[in-house]
Amino acid sequence: MKHLPALLLLALAACSPTAPKAEKATSPASQQQVLLPLVISTATGTRRFAVEAALTPQQQEQGLMFRKSLEPDGGMLFPMNPPRTASFWMKNTLIPLDMLFIRTDGTIAFIAANTTPYSREPVSAGVPVAAVLELRGGRAAELGIAPGDRVAWGRCADPAGKGPAGLDFCPSRAR
């Protein structure tokens, strides 16, 4: 009985929701995540990326929080099924990001460029989207990516068909 308060305190600390989530970002599950091929067709050419797909509610909640860097041609895709008006914030995100909001026809509806790390200000396109793509801050401008450009991913983005099955987004080519 004498040690009960100490045990309760230890158990409480272990279950605390304020425990650092940084450990989750480097857990084996996040390290084993499959990279998804993604292409953006711009006025000046095709841009190729290998992005993580946030498919589960837990992955979508974690997003790119606590990451200290992001590869130039890396990022994270948040598919919305069914399409919906998505709103993101930068809480616990250490690096600036470009957020590309992608319509159901594959075109980019809106780009929130160089979003502010740690900001709790909601970012949204204000229209239903099929997905949101997060890239390293400033990358969209560097590559000339603009609203109206077309996005595809999965096997639709990889002519060799190397993308994981079931994660394909193949909008029609007509503009």
Q: pLDDT tens, 14-60?
A: 333 333 333 333 433 444 577 899 999 999 999 999 999 999 989 88
Using a pLDDT cut of 90, give the percent of the chain over it: 61
Please tell me the predicted confidence (pLDDT) of residue 5.
Answer: 39
Per-residue pLDDT, averaged over 159-163, amounts to: 68
Nearest to 38 by CA among 153, 141, 167, 166: 153
Cα–Cα distance measured from residue 53 to residue 100, given in angstroms and rounded to the nearest whole number: 14
Please tell me the predicted confidence (pLDDT) of residue 156.
Answer: 87
Nearest to 143 by CA among 64, 68, 49, 77: 49
- Domain regions of the chain by residue span: 25-156
Banded model confidence at residue 167, pLDDT cuts 50, 70, 90 = confident
Per-residue pLDDT, averaged over 94-104, amounts to: 96
User: What CATH number should be reported for the domain whose range is 25-156?
Assistant: 2.60.120.1140
